[in-house]
Amino acid sequence: MFHSGRWAGVFLTVTGANADEAFLCFKALAAQVKTIDGILLGHSASAKLEKLLRESAATSHTETPAVEYAIRFLCLLVEKNCFRYVNLLIQKIEQNLDAKNGIINAVVEAAIPVDSSFEEKLKLMIKEKTGAASVKMKTGVRPELLGGYILRIGSHYIDASLKGQLESMAAHLGANTGGRNG
């Protein structure tokens, strides 16, 4: 069983102060490795991959500690036959880095596309209310909401949609009339 939390913890511990930069390198290199045809597993595949990645880093003059960490970690994943979990690992590392850096992830779904002005106001409000250093926001369109929006931050959920308000009113009216329709 692959434990993404453990692997992410090791990545962050090993990279230390270089974690943010190493993560960006890791993500970029992983995307390149995914394009390689064939199955990547075992020590020999890891050694070949390491040689290829080091040559690429040397020719692009990007030999930094962050690149070194990324190369070593990718090769370890290949050697341990865990590269197939790289997307899960990337998500977990990003979550841990966001938490460490005080970044909150929010999802806004609205009946119509959210304009940048509203998005910025919402981010500012979230930062003020939570004390977050920054807010990463994903937006989506759900026409069935009729108007307004739904905001999700972690396990918190705010329904400011017209559909939600209408459903709430209907439930409230049903409760006040004893559930009778007449």
pLDDT on residue 41:
64
pLDDT on residue 81:
87
Q: Report whether 74 contacts 53 (CB < 8 A).
A: yes
pLDDT on residue 40:
67
pLDDT on residue 39:
65
Integer Rg of the chain from CA: 23
Per-residue pLDDT 10s for the chain (182 aa) are 889 999 999 999 999 999 999 999 999 999 988 887 666 667 778 888 888 888 888 877 777 889 999 999 999 998 888 888 999 999 999 999 999 999 999 999 999 999 999 999 999 999 999 999 999 999 999 999 999 999 999 889 999 999 988 988 888 888 777 655 55
pLDDT on residue 120:
95
Write down the pTM of the prediction. 0.73
Distance of CA 182 to the CA centre of its chain: 50
Q: Report whether 23 contacts 7 (CB < 8 A).
A: no
pLDDT on residue 33:
85
Rounded Cα distance between 2 and 5, Å, is: 9
pLDDT on residue 90:
96
pLDDT on residue 106:
94
